Chains A and B, each alone.
Chain A
Amino acid sequence: MASFVKFTINGKTCLAEEGAQLVEAAKENGIYIPTLCNYPGIPPKGSCRICTVLVNGIGQTACTTKVVEGMTVQTSTPELEEFRKSVIEILFAEGNHLCPSCEKSGSCELQALAYRYRVTVPHFPYLFPKRDVEAWHPKLVKDHNRCIQCKRCIRGIRNGKGQALFAFGKRGDKVVINIDPETSRDISDALAQEAMDMCPVGAILRKEKGFDVPIGKRKFDRQPIGSDIQA
């Protein structure tokens, strides 16, 4: 039988299975911690930092933190909220995000978070990087302009032999996530769709699949991100 631990989030006493991921444990207790690189079912990475919370007063990413007995967690202080908003703004400023013509608009987690955190104009200067659209694959398009390098696709999408379909290329601020020509050969439509769905933004697209969900039926049209857990 699983053993439960008692801890507090924002002063509220919570219960969760020992060793549960803090993001999930908070959710179970009706508290929303925003995430971007985290994805249920794949090992957490803690790279986007948006889920940063204070654990016993110290900043930690909630996706890589396990709950333990007696832990005190702060998910929402003015500083944390400001920090999260900055992370979102930086992601917008360092890529080329033209939401009005983006296939993922309305279902994009980055855009949804920007709405939740009321980002209007980033405080950081736009970098307008020169990036490509990689479209040689028969079923997939990789739009590097919109990639936030969360690595969900690298970690989560595998072919029938268990090989990753996506891989890192280059280094530093030139880093890109490419489609691997070898491992991605002959992928099924279902796997291509899974890759598109797993991407939090519009960086991985299925060819010819843009805009087939009407406005009003897209993921966040009726239910803003996180509102299913906490208003």
Chain B
Amino acid sequence: MSKKIVIEPVTRVEGHGKVTIHLDDQGNVAQSRLHIVEFRGFERFVQGRPYWEAPVLVERLCGICPVSHHLAAAKAVDVIAGAGTGDGLTPTAEKIRRLMHYGQMFQSHTLHFFHLASPDLLFGYDAPPEQRNVIGVALANRELATQAVLMRKYGQEVIAATAGKKIHGTGAIPGGVNKSLTIEERDTLLKGRAPLNADKMIAWSQGALAFFKDYYKKNKAFIDGFSQFPSNHLSLVRKDGALDLYHGVLRAVDAAGKKILNDVDYQDYLSHLREEVRSWSYMKFPFLKILGKEKGWYRVGPLARLNTADFIPTPLAQKEFEAFKAVTGGKPNNMCMHTHWARLIEVLHSAEVIRDLLLDSDITGTDLVTKGKWQPVGVGVIEAPRGTLMHHYRVNEDDLITMANLIVSTTHNNEPMNRAVNCVAKAMMTGQKEITEPMMNAVEVAIRAYDPCLSCATHAYGQMPLEVSLYDATGKLISQRRK
């Protein structure tokens, strides 16, 4: 008799995910699925609204990375306002937006790694849930936990200085920004209130990387082997191939490193990407047109970015990048848990970029907005913490939005996350008759490597109830376990 196992809700993944694992008569895993059950509706809400509202309206999609949505939408409406794609802004506007974005990357990655993922690393996914949370981290490693909290705070301060407030600000407007930094704001971030200053953030980011690398040395088999599978990788890269989280061209490489999307203009993303709808999930499955539905799926996010980029344009992060690349002999890295390593390299890179931007005199400039010839369509793409984020708007001649298409990082990663869950299920459930706590946790660990915010919903972490239900082939509930 085949069985169906349901893991619901998934904890420390924001929002609500549900995993079903189907066993065959022999108790082997026949199929696993990650169901995304939320429906957000923002593409509909924004219709009929003036286009300049989009950056402020759609950022409400998320409480962790609103800046990414704010800026992706702003980049799209820049095009509509005739300010061009990325390079049309004034130097001050471009740099303020970059500062906002790298501040966002810094705080969100810190949250993702320390608050959401590090408990699994520190204590193992078979540790009791009372310990396997951020409070447990704080009790076990006070210094690390304190730094994590303060690093996140620093990133939030950068956002507040550029967007007006820490969450859901208004800094980016069509064709530019509504403020630059005052000298005082700049100095506070650069060398202000100890211990929060730009150099300290760089030093602490290096400390976080050292922590991970030390862990890796001791747990190589787990970090390398856990839920690893080959895939394509997609991200923006700067025109010269450098890692760029704010702007660039779209590049994809396959599992062996061959370029399958060669630095194309993202205004044209529809010629290269398609989305598939599957009956059992609200979330679509994007794929590269050139490779088709079966083979064209890809990963996005920190791991993908370090696989597509040729180099990192800040010295300390570049050194770490070289060490990271050496593990796979320069080839793409397909090991799921290495995403955390890549994430920490981006934390360091973000800290370096923040410091460099603060030292740039344009950051306090006064030339804030450019406008040009109105266009009816605009696409904005940005590298959000969890990966490539696409916003696409069409407006009528009255400036009201008639169509919006948002492809968020989680959607790009839909197929990889399903594969990751399947990998874990196969490794841990084959030949097992009962679902164990470590098994359920391992599924969450795999998802969390990609994404802690399935629905981009409200913030919640810690101990959420976990429910496991067991169904037989006819759909009858035969057993249920709660914690």
Residues of A whose CB lies within 8 Å of any CB of B are 100-101, 103, 133, 135-136, 141, 205, 207-217
Contacts and interface: CB of A to CB of B under 8 A. Distances in A.
Given A205-B50, A208-B81, A216-B164, A135 B398 contact: yes
Contacts of A213: 178
Contact of B171 (A101, A103, A214, A217): A214
Given A100-B56, A208-B81, A133 B400 contact: yes
24 contacts: A100-B168, A101-B49, A101-B53, A133-B50, A133-B400, A135-B50, A135-B399, A135-B400, A141-B50, A141-B399, A205-B50, A208-B52, A208-B81, A208-B399, A210-B50, A210-B53, A210-B56, A211-B52, A212-B173, A212-B178, A214-B171, A214-B178, A215-B164, A217-B179
Given A101-B49, A133-B48, A216-B164, 5 more contacts: A133-B400, A208-B174, A210-B52, A210-B53, A213-B178
A136 B246 CA distance: 34
Interface in B39-88: 48-50, 52-53, 55-57, 60, 81
A34 B209 CA distance: 57
A216 B179 CA distance: 11
Contact of A207 (B50, B55, B60, B179): B50
Contacts of A135: 50, 398-400
Q: Which 8 A-B pairs have the closest CB atoms?
A: A215-B164, A101-B57, A135-B398, A214-B179, A214-B178, A211-B170, A210-B52, A101-B56
B169 interface: yes
Contacts of B56: 100-101, 210-211
Nearest to B54: A101
Interface of B: 48-50, 52-53, 55-57, 60, 81, 163-165, 168-171, 173-174, 178-179, 369, 371, 398-400
Contacts of B60: 100-101
A147 to B, nearest CB: 15
Contacts of B179: 214, 217
Nearest to A103: B53
Contacts, number: 58
B166 to A, nearest CB: 11
Contacts of B369: 212
B378 to A, nearest CB: 14
Contacts of B50: 133, 135, 141, 205, 207, 210
A212 B399 CA distance: 17
A133 B401 CA distance: 11
Contacts of A209: 52
A214 B170 contact: yes
Given A211-B178, A214-B164, A215-B165, A136 B398 contact: yes
A101 B55 CA distance: 9
Q: Taking chain A's interface residues, is the majority helix, strand, or loop, or is none over half, making it mixed?
A: loop
Contacts of A136: 398
B78 to A, nearest CB: 12
A68 to B, nearest CB: 47
B288 to A, nearest CB: 34
Contacts of A133: 48-50, 400
A211 B50 CA distance: 12
A205 B165 CA distance: 23
A118 to B, nearest CB: 21
Nearest to A98: B57
Contacts of A208: 52, 81, 174, 371, 399
A215 B163 CA distance: 8
A185 B269 CA distance: 40
A205 B399 CA distance: 13
A99 to B, nearest CB: 11
Contacts of B165: 215
Nearest to B58: A101
A103 B53 CA distance: 7
Contacts of A216: 164
A145 to B, nearest CB: 10
A32 to B, nearest CB: 27
A48 B50 CA distance: 28
A17 B290 CA distance: 81
Q: In the complex, which of the residues A136, A205, A207, A214 has the most CB atoms of chain B within 10 Å of its own CB atom?
A: A214
B333 to A, nearest CB: 40
A135 B57 CA distance: 18
Contacts of A211: 52, 55-56, 170, 173, 178
A169 B170 CA distance: 34
A215 B164 CA distance: 5
A103 B54 CA distance: 11
A209 B175 CA distance: 12
Contacts of B81: 208
A210 B168 contact: no
Nearest to A207: B399
A150 B369 CA distance: 34
B18 to A, nearest CB: 29
A133 B168 CA distance: 24
A103 B174 CA distance: 13
Contacts of B371: 208
B148 to A, nearest CB: 27
B458 to A, nearest CB: 14
Nearest to B81: A208
Nearest to B163: A215
A214 B56 CA distance: 12
A205 B169 CA distance: 20
Nearest to B398: A135
A133 B53 CA distance: 13
Contacts of A141: 50, 399
A67 B56 CA distance: 45
Nearest to A135: B398
Contacts of B178: 211-214
A42 to B, nearest CB: 27
A215 B59 CA distance: 16
Most chain B CB neighbours (cut-off 10 Å) among A101, A209, A210, A217: A101
A100 B48 CA distance: 17
A215 B398 contact: no
Nearest to A134: B398
Contacts of B174: 208
A210 B173 contact: yes
Nearest to A205: B50
Most chain B beta carbons < 10 A, residue from A141, A207, A208, A210? A208
B464 to A, nearest CB: 26
